[in-house]
Structure 1
Amino acid sequence: MTCEDCIKDISTSLHNVQGINKVDARLKDQLVFIEGTASPSSIVSAIQATGRDAILRGSGSSNGAAVSILETHSTSVQNNVRGLARMVQVSSNMTIVDLTINGLSPGKYWATVRENGDISRGAETTGGIWESLKNKVLGSEETKEPRGVFGTVDVDAKGKGNVFLDRPVAVWELIGRSMVISKDKEGPFKKEDPDTLVGVIARSAGVWDNDKMVCSCSGKNVWEERKEQVSKGMM
Structure 2
Amino acid sequence: MNRTKIEFAVQFNGSNPEGEIKDALKNVGSVEFDRKIGSVVVETENTPWNVIQSKIEATGRRAVLTGFGGQSCVSIINTGKSALNGVVRICSVSSENKGSVIDGVVDGLEAHKKYRFNIHECGDLSNGCESVGNVFSQSSVEEKLIEADNNGRLSFRILDKFLNVSDLIGRSVVISKADDSEERVGCGIIARSAGIFENSKKICACDGVTIWSERDRPIAGKGRREQK
TM-score, normalised to structure 1, is: 0.72
How many angstroms does 1:26 deviate by? 5.9
Larger relative contact order, structure 1 or 2 (CA cutoff 8 Å, min sep 6)? 1
Write out per-residue CA displacement over residues 11-38 of structure 1, whole angstroms, 9 at most, x where no aligned residue. Answer: 2221133xx1x23456665433433334
Instruction: Output the CA distance in 2 between the equivalents of 1:164 and 1:99.
Output: 7
The runs of at least 4 consecutive aligned structure 1 residues that moved more than 6 Å come to none
Q: How does 1:45-124 map to 2 (within 5 A)?
A: 45-58=54-67, 64-74=71-81, 77=82, 79-80=83-84, 82-91=85-94, 92-106=97-111, 107-124=113-130
Paired residue for 1:170?
164
Instruction: Output the CA distance in 1 between the equivalents of 2:58 and 2:68.
Output: 26
Instruction: Output the CA distance in 2 between the equivalents of 1:208 and 1:229.
Output: 26
Q: How does 1:116-155 map to 2 (within 5 A)?
A: 116-131=122-137, 147=140, 151-155=144-148
Unaligned runs of 5+ in 2: 1-11, 220-228
SS in 1 for 2:66: coil
How many angstroms does 1:52 deviate by? 3.0
TM-score, normalised to structure 2, is: 0.74
Percent identity, aligned pairs only?
33
How many angstroms does 1:147 deviate by? 3.4
- Asked if the contact 1:67–1:202 (Cα under 8 Å) also holds between the matched residues in 2, the reply is yes
How many angstroms does 1:218 deviate by? 5.4
Instruction: Output the CA distance in 2 between the equivalents of 1:67 and 1:23.
Output: 23
Aligned-residue CA RMSD (Å) = 3.2
Residues 152/229 of structure 1: CA separation in 2 closer, same or farther (3 Å cut): farther
Residues 218/131 of structure 1: CA separation in 2 closer, same or farther (3 Å cut): farther
- What letter matches 1:220 in structure 2? V
Greater gyration radius: 1
Paired residue for 1:182?
176
- What letter matches 1:14 in structure 2? L
Paired residue for 1:139?
none
How many angstroms does 1:213 deviate by? 2.2
Paired residue for 2:153?
160
Instruction: Output the CA distance in 2 between the equivalents of 1:103 and 1:207.
Output: 29
- What letter matches 2:54 in structure 1? S
Instruction: Output the CA distance in 2 between the equivalents of 1:148 and 1:121.
Output: 26
Paired residue for 2:7?
none
- What letter matches 1:177 in structure 2? R
